[in-house]
């Protein structure tokens, strides 16, 4: 997949290109249906497919603090690549860009610069100053300027609308197994392993890989989770505690993962952690011994969950190693 980080990086129009536009936070099952539609249309035309997204998310600029994202831009790019899209334009979103009129965006960016021949959008998409570029506007522009507009309807899993808003709420509530169904993959956190207090191995008997958590990001409900850890080209099972470590009077928000059957030095190295199931809430224990005993029970329960999901986890691991 070709990636363009600025509109100006597209120096000549594409040949027979079908386009989709969106924020695509999480790249959930609904987004994946949209990508499948635009890829199918491009295939039928013997052309190419192009997705347009924005970084940062527009609400991060228009309403600072108003949204907590399911995925980073890098994660979003990885998932769009896996969806089989030929090219991706990541538009830097600024207040200046937000003032762009919908008609200017269609004329100067979609038609003149990109050379769009067809447009595919989600049922609730709108863009441009004041969100004036809604579905009705796009359909009217398509009729006037000669490009078909396909609207992909809302996607339901059972009676549940698959949406980024719904997934954010599920993650915040700790219902990561339900969020996984809407995403089509586990909810994931990632980062470089930090040097912590090193109590896990020395005092508790369960060494952990620690990731610093930004409270401005989407933070799962504090507590203990069954996890799948992707590190240095391999997948491992584990248990993660996200919270403030109250037994030791901690203040910082941190995600601490005990990785099963693992003894490598990975300080400063990147890991990915898939959250599979919420086991229990975080709480303060009366002693280190009591904490260690509970972690032992958590480990046993986590290994049972992982054994029951072995096939699904193999698929998930393969996808993560490819991205």
Q: Tokens 């129009």 label which residue?
A: 13
Which residues neighbour 195 within 8 Å (Cβ) at sequence distance 6 or greater? 210, 267
pTM of the model: 0.90
The rounded distance, in Å, linking the Cα atoms of 81 and 49 is 11
Q: Catalytic residue at 37?
A: no
Q: Which of 118, 153, 256, 290 is catalytic?
A: 256
The rounded distance, in Å, linking the Cα atoms of 254 and 270 is 15
* Helix boundaries (H) for 87-134: 95-98, 102-104
The rounded distance, in Å, linking the Cα atoms of 315 and 323 is 13
3-state SS of 211-246 is EECCCCCCCCCCEEEEEEEEECCEEEEEEEEEECCH
Say what the pLDDT of residue 202 is. 52
> In this structure, are residues 147 and 116 in contact, taking their beta carbons and an 8 Å threshold?
yes
Say what the pLDDT of residue 250 is. 64
Please give the full DSSP string across 270-318, using - where no structure is assigned.
Answer: EEEEEEEEEEEE----SSHHHHHHHHHHHHHHHHHHHHHTHHHHHHHHH
Q: Dig out the tokens for 40 from the structure.
A: 């199918």
Which residues neighbour 9 within 8 Å (Cβ) at sequence distance 6 or greater? none
Say what the pLDDT of residue 149 is. 97
Per-residue pLDDT of the chain in tens (323 residues, 90 and over written 9): 999 999 999 999 999 999 999 999 999 999 999 999 999 999 999 999 999 999 999 998 988 877 899 999 999 999 999 999 999 999 999 999 999 999 999 999 999 999 999 999 999 998 877 788 899 999 999 999 999 999 999 999 999 999 999 999 999 999 999 999 999 999 999 999 987 665 554 556 788 899 988 777 899 999 999 999 999 888 999 999 998 876 665 667 889 999 998 888 888 999 999 999 999 998 888 788 888 899 999 999 999 999 887 766 666 666 676 66
Say what the pLDDT of residue 69 is. 93
């Amino acid at each position: 997949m070709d990636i363009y980080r600025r509109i100006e990086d597209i120096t000549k129009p594409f040949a027979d290109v079908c386009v989709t536009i969106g924020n695509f936070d999480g790249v959930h099952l609904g987004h994946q249906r949209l990508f499948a539609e635009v890829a199918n249309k491009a295939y039928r035309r013997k052309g190419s497919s192009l997705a347009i997204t924005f970084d940062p998310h527009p609400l991060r600029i228009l309403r600072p603090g108003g949204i907590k994202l399911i995925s980073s831009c890098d994660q979003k790019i990885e998932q769009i690549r896996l969806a089989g899209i030929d090219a991706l334009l990541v538009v830097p979103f600024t207040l200046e860009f937000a003032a762009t009129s919908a008609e200017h965006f269609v004329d100067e960016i979609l038609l003149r610069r990109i050379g769009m021949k067809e447009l595919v959008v989600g049922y609730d998409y709108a863009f441009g100053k004041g969100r004036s570029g809604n579905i009705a506007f796009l359909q009217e522009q398509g009729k006037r300027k000669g490009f078909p507009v396909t609207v992909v309807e809302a996607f339901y899993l059972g009676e549940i609308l698959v949406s980024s808003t719904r997934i954010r709420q599920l993650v915040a509530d700790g219902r990561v197994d339900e969020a996984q169904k809407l995403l089509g993959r586990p909810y994931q956190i990632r980062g470089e392993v930090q040097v912590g207090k090193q109590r896990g191995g020395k005092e508790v008997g369960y060494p952990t890989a620690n990731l610093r958590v930004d409270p401005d990001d989407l933070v799962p409900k504090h507590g203990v989770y069954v996890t799948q850890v992707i590190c240095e080209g391999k997948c491992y099972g584990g248990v993660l505690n996200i919270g403030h470590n109250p037994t030791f009077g901690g203040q910082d928000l941190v995600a601490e993962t005990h990785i099963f059957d693992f003894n490598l030095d990975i300080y400063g190295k990147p890991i990915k952690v898939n959250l599979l199931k919420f086991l229990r809430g975080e709480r303060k224990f009366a002693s280190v011994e009591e904490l260690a005993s509970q972690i032992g029970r958590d480990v046993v329960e986590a290994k049972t969950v992982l054994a029951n999901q072995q096939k699904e986890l193999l698929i998930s691991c393969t996808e993560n190693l490819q991205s």
